Structure 1
Amino acid sequence: MNKAMRDIDERTNLAGNSMFELLLFRLGQAPGTERRELFGINVFKVREILVMPEVTVMVNAPPTVMGVANIRGEMIPVINLPAVVGCNPTKGLGILLVTEFARTTQAFAVEEVNEIVRLEWKQVLSAEGTGGGLVTSIARLDGNAENTRLAQVLDVEQILRDVFPREHQALPDGSVLPRLQLPPGTVILAADDSATARLMIEQGLQAMDVPYIMTKTGKEAWDRLEALSVQAVAEGKTIKDKVALVLTDLEMPEMDGFTLTRNIKQDGRFNAIPVVIHSSLTGTTNEGHVKSVGADAYIAKFVAEEFAATIGRVLAR
C-alpha cells in the first residue's frame, strides 16, 4: 500500500471513531482589528496545497474570483478567500488550497497554512446564531482547556453558492421531481449543519411533497429520534410509525453523520429505519466507509434528480 492510500485509510478510520483532521490556515487581519484568526477545512476536502501558481485573469469573472490556474492540465477557478470573508491579507496570498467538494474542483487562495490538527467532533460546536454567516462551526483546538485556541470552520457550500450562484442552485429552473408518498403519519428526519445545504434539502423535499423534520446536528437528530420513540411508545406505536427515513450529512458539530448512522443501526429501537447519507465528501473511499457503518445509501451533494431517485429507491425497499 503506497503512502497516499495509507493516509486515506488512516483518515477513514478516524471518521469511524468520531474523529477527523482539520487543516488550519489564516486569511489575514479580521475587519476592524489587527487579529489574524484561524480558519479550518476538513482535510478530506483538500486535494493538494501549492505555492501560488500563475493565475490567468478571466474576463467578466465574479469579483472574488482571481481567475483560473492550470494545475496538472486542469483549468481550476481560483477564489480569493480573504475577499469572500472580508479579511485583509497583509502578507499576501501565497498559498493555494485545491479542494474537491460536491463533485466540483476549485482552489482557494489563502495567506498561509499553519498545521493539521486531529480532533473529535465533540470539540466542534455549532456557530449558528453567533453572527458568522459563512461559518458552520467553531473548533476548540485544545478541547475544554481554559482559553483554548479557536478555529472557524467555513461553510464552503454557502461560499460556493455566493461566488457561483448559477452553478450551485438547489433546484435549477425547469426541474421537476417525482412526488413521493410516505406511510401515513411518518416523516423524513434530516440533519445538516450548513444553512445553505438545509435550504437545498428542504426545497428538494418540498418539491417531492414529503413531510420532514430538519435538524442542525447529528446530536439534535439523535435527540429528536429518541423523543419521537418515547412518543410512539406512549401512543402504542413504534418509531417506524413516526420516521420513514433518516437523511444525514457527514460533517457536523457535536455528533457527525458516521456516529449518528452507527448509533441508529446498533440500536434495536431504530435499526429498521433506513439511513441515507447526503454529503459533499465525494469519492469511492468515503462511499465505501458509508456502507461500513450501515448506511442504506449515499448521495453526493447536490443533484436534485439523484437526491429524489435515491430516497425513492431506498423507501421502495
Structure 2
Amino acid sequence: MKSVQQEVDERSNLTGTNKFELLLFRLGGDEQGNHSELFGINVFKIREIVAMPEITTVAGAPKHVLGVVNLRGQIIQVLDLPAIAGVKPKTGLNIMLVTEFARTTQAFAVESVEEIVRLDWNQVMSAENSAGSGMVTSIARLPEQDGVAGRLAQVLDVETILRTLNPNEERESFDQAVGSKIAIKPGTVVLAADDSVVARALIEQGLEAMGLPFIMTKSGKECWDGLNKIAAAAEAEGRTVYDRVAMVLTDLEMPEMDGFTLTRTIKSNNRFANLPVVIHSSLSGTTNEEHVKNVRADAYVAKFSAEDLSRTLRKVLHG
C-alpha cells in the first residue's frame, strides 16, 4: 500500500508528463433528477471534499450563492453548482467541494462525488464549439469502467462560472494597472495560450493595455503548432522565430497539451530554446512553482492581476 506521501509525490509528478487527475462528480439531471451527467474538476484545484455542513444564508447574496460556511475558522462562500448548470439533484446537495485557485477559496455544492481518474491531456478535447461552452471548457474521454466504454465528462471552467456569478464585481482599470506601454522588438508578438473564454478576454485586455501585439490560441497544441508555422515562415524569409515572436504566455490546464508540456517542448528544442516562456495559471502552490523551474519557464504569475502580469512580462521582456 502506498503511503500518503508517495501518493502526493506521484500526483505532483504528473504535471511533468502531460497527465493530470480529474475529480468526477454529479450535479443532477432533468426535473426528476434523471439522466445525470458526469462533470469534472482538476484535482489540483480541490483543497478538500466534505459532507455538506450547515450553511448560513447571507442577505442580498447573488443568485446561486447558497450562503457561507465556517470551515475551521475560515468563512467560505458556497455556490449552488447544480442550479448554475441548470440541473436538479435527485438526492439533494450532499457534498461540498472546497476549491483553491486564482487567488481565491470557494466551495461548490454538488450531489455526489464519483471517483478520481488519471488522464492524459490528449484525452481531453476543447468544448469551445459545443453547446454550453460558456461554463464547460473541455470534454474528457474517460477510460472504460465495468465494461462501459465511451464515457464522457464535462470539465468545468470554474473561472468563467465565478465571473458570471459576480458580473458587477469591480474591475481594475487595465491602463492604470499595467502602467506605461511595454516596448518589444518591432515585428514581434506575444504568442498566448489559454482555453478559458473569460481568461482569454482578460489576457487580451491586459496585453492591449500594455501595448503588446499578440496572437491568442486556445490550447497548448494550437500554440505549439502556431509557433512552428511562424518559425517556418520567418525562416523562409531568411529570418528566425525571434524576429516574429517576443515571448510565449501560457496557461497550465489545457486540452491536448498542457502548459508544462508546451514549455518543456519549447525549451528542449534548439530552434526555440532562448524564447522566453511565462506560465500564467490559476493553479498555485510550491509544487507547481517547482515544476515551473523544472520545465525551465522564465517566470510564473498567478491569475488574474493585470498589475502582476504587467510587472512579470516587463521583467522577462526587458531582462
For Structure 1 versus Structure 2, the TM-score category normalised by the shorter chain is over 0.9
CA distance in 2, matches of 1:214, 1:173: 20
- Superposition map of 1:136-285 within 5 A: 136-142=137-143, 147-167=149-169, 169=171, 171=173, 175-285=177-287
CA apart distance, 1:107: 0.2
**Mean CA deviation greater in 174-183 or 185-194:** 174-183
Matched position secondary structure for 2:182? coil
Taking structure 1 as reference, are residues 4 and 45 closer, same or farther at Cα in structure 2, changes over 3 Å only? farther
* Residue 18 in structure 1 maps to residue 18 in structure 2: yes
- What secondary structure is seen at the aligned counterpart in 1 of 2:139? strand
- More displaced stretch, 145-154 vs 129-138: 145-154
Deviation, 1:172, is 6.6
CA positional deviation for 1:10: 1.6
Distance 1:61 1:131, change over 3 A: same
The 1-side partners of 2:252 and 2:24 are apart by 20
Q: The residue matched to 2:162 in structure 1 has which SS?
A: helix
Aligned residue among 291, 294, 297 for 1:292: 294
* 1:35/1:10 CA distance change after superposition, 3 Å: same
Q: Distance in 1 between matches of 2:308 and 2:32?
A: 44
CA distances 1:272-310 after superposition (whole Å, capped 9, x unpaired): 100000000011111111111110000100011000000
Do the aligned partners of residues 32 and 204 (structure 1) sit closer, same or farther apart at CA in structure 2, a change above 3 Å counting? farther
Give the conservation status (yes or no) of the 8 Å contact 1:170–1:302: no
Q: Provide, for residues 115-169 of structure 1, a one-character-per-residue CA deviation record: whole Å limited to 9, x for no partner.
A: 00000000000000111221000000028x9951000000001001011234474
Question: Would you say the 8 A contact 1:27–1:88 is kept in 2?
Answer: yes
Q: Could you tell me which runs of 5 or more consecutive residues in structure 1 were left unpaired when the two chains were aligned.
A: none
Structure 1 residue matching 2:206: 3-state secondary structure: helix
Say if 2:251 and 2:279, in contact at 8 Å, map to a contact too: yes
Q: Provide, for residues 212-270 of structure 1, a one-character-per-residue CA deviation record: whole Å limited to 9, x for no partner.
A: 00000000000000000100111100100010000000000001101100100000000
TM superposition shift of 1:33 = 8.2
Q: 1:223 to 1:170 in 2, by over 3 A?
A: farther
Kindly provide the amino acid, as one letter, of the partner of residue 83 in structure 1.
A
- In the alignment, the residues of structure 2 paired with residue 48 and residue 96 of structure 1 have an alpha-carbon distance, to the nearest angstrom, of 8
2:41 alignment counterpart: 41
Aligned twin of 2:81? 81
Residue among 308, 313, 318 paired with 1:311:
313
Aligned residues: 315
Matched residues in 1 for 2:24 and 2:258: separation?
20
**Aligned CA distance change for structure 1 residues 68 and 263 (closer, same or farther; 3 Å):** same
Match of 2:135 in 1: 134
Gaps of 5+ in 2: none
Closer, same or farther in 2 for the Cα pair 1:38/1:239, shift >3 Å? same
What is the CA–CA distance in structure 2 between the aligned matches of 1:34 and 1:165, rounded to whole Å?
31
Q: CA RMSD in A?
A: 2.0
C-alpha distance in 2, partners of 1:140/1:306?
35
Deviations 1:151-200 (A, max 9, x none): 00000010010112344747579645321111010000000000000000
Distance 1:265 1:172, change over 3 A: closer
Which position in structure 2 is the counterpart of 1:99? Answer: 99
Displacement of 1:9 in angstroms is 2.2
Deviation at 1:11, TM superposition (A): 1.6
TM-score, normalising length: structure 2 = 0.94
User: Hey, what's the Cα distance between the residues in 2 that align with 1:253 and 1:34?
Assistant: 29
Letter matched to residue 317 of structure 2: L
Letter in 1 for 2:81: L
- Measured in 1, the distance between the counterparts of 2:203 and 2:289 equals 20
Do 1:160 and 1:168's aligned partners in 2 also have CA atoms closer than 8 Å?
no
1:174–1:246 CA distance, 2 compared to 1 (3 A): closer
Bigger mean CA deviation after superposition, 171-180 or 304-313 = 171-180
Residue 170 of structure 1 contacts residue 204 of structure 1 at CA under 8 Å; is this kept in 2? no
Q: Does 1:302 align with 2:304?
A: yes
